[in-house]
């Protein structure tokens, strides 16, 4: 039977006297195989990934596991507790400061600890993200492990021209560690379907790696996007979405949502599709209070996509 051990990584002590740790779990199978790392909660308001990890370990039978799993269900505990994208003490974005600095700001110290205690020990890395508190998202990055990215089972994939520096993926890619970034769920809607898909996606990846018995489920018809544009409103107020079908096709100039003033009750801005043929990658499924510059919509360009 696999052995499961809780191996928290000590980071430091807060002014309140509370110990700040990274809650890492290690599961070692009876047979040899790769070491796969799974992380969630790098951004504290992206809670869907945390639930995916919890439910995956609770529901799945890992008695036949080959190799080793290192699981970091909450990579930034402080921001998770505050439901914040940034770390409350310094308000830095953890996923922009890797590989970190042992003597830097708290967020940089967190990144350094994650690299040394987690990322450096992996053969394969799966990083779970979500839309956040109000937007919902659905796609998977193709980084350096396309078969594994496709095996997760999302219909939309994204092949970026370059990896954003300062991310955990920038560290693993530089080290030749096969890496998958998942963007799934979020928003003020029931997350059950996204959690179920996340569990199946992790299972498919482990089966593709032959770490668990059985064949991975066949993925749906997939589209690999080469271009995604993030549309950020210039006004704050009440965002009323007009397109709420994830993965739905939109046309040039089509209104995706409107920002209205809850005070004057006037329309302040209409956010429109920038491509002749676009696809919804991120949207708000319910009306939301927004500020200027937030993630309004993400639209993929179908004209340059790989079918």
Answer for the pair 278, 302: CB distance below 8 angstroms, yes or no: yes
Instruction: Write the pLDDT tens digit of every residue in 12-50.
Output: 999 999 999 999 999 999 999 999 999 999 999 999 999
Over residues 136-156, mean pLDDT: 98
* Range 227-304: architecture per CATH: Beta Barrel (2.40)
Quick one: pLDDT at residue 163? Answer: 82
Hey, where are the domains in the chain? 3-223, 227-304
CATH 3.40.630.10 fits 3-223, yes or no: yes
3-223 and 227-304 agree in CATH topology: no
Under the banding of pLDDT at 50, 70 and 90, the label for residue 164 is confident
CA distance 15 to 260: 42
What DSSP assignment string belongs to 279-297?
A: EEEEE-SS-EEE-TTS--E
């Amino acid at each position: 039977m696999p052995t499961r051990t809780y191996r928290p990584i000590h980071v430091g002590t807060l002014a309140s006297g509370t110990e700040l740790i990274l809650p890492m779990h290690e599961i070692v199978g009876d047979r040899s195989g790769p070491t796969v790392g799974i992380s969630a909660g790098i951004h504290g308001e992206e809670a869907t990934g945390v639930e995916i990890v919890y439910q995956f370990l609770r529901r799945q039978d890992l008695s036949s596991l080959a190799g080793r799993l290192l699981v970091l269900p909450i990579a930034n505990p402080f921001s998770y507790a505050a439901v914040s994208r940034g770390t409350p003490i310094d308000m830095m974005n953890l996923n922009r400061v890797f590989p970190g600095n042992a003597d830097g700001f708290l967020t940089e110290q967190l990144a350094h600890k994650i690299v040394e205690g987690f990322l450096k020990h992996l053969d394969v890395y799966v990083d779970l993200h979500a839309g956040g508190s109000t937007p919902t998202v659905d796609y998977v990055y193709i980084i350096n492990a396309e078969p594994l990215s496709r095996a997760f089972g999302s219909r939309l994939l994204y092949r970026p021209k370059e990896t954003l520096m300062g991310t955990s993926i920038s560290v693993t890619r530089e080290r030749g560690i096969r890496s998958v970034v998942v963007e799934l769920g979020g928003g003020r809607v029931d997350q059950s379907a996204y959690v179920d898909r996340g569990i199946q996606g992790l299972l498919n990846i482990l089966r593709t790696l032959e770490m668990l018995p059985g064949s991975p489920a066949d993925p749906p018809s997939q589209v690999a996007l080469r271009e995604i544009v993030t549309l950020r409103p210039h006004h704050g107020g009440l965002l009323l979405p007009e397109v709420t079908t994830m993965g739905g096709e939109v046309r040039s100039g089509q209104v995706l949502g409107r920002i209205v003033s809850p005070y004057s009750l006037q329309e302040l801005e209409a956010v429109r599709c920038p491509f002749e043929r676009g696809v919804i990658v991120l949207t708000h499924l319910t009306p939301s209070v927004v500020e200027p510059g937030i993630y309004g919509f993400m639209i993929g360009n179908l004209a340059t996509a790989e079918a």
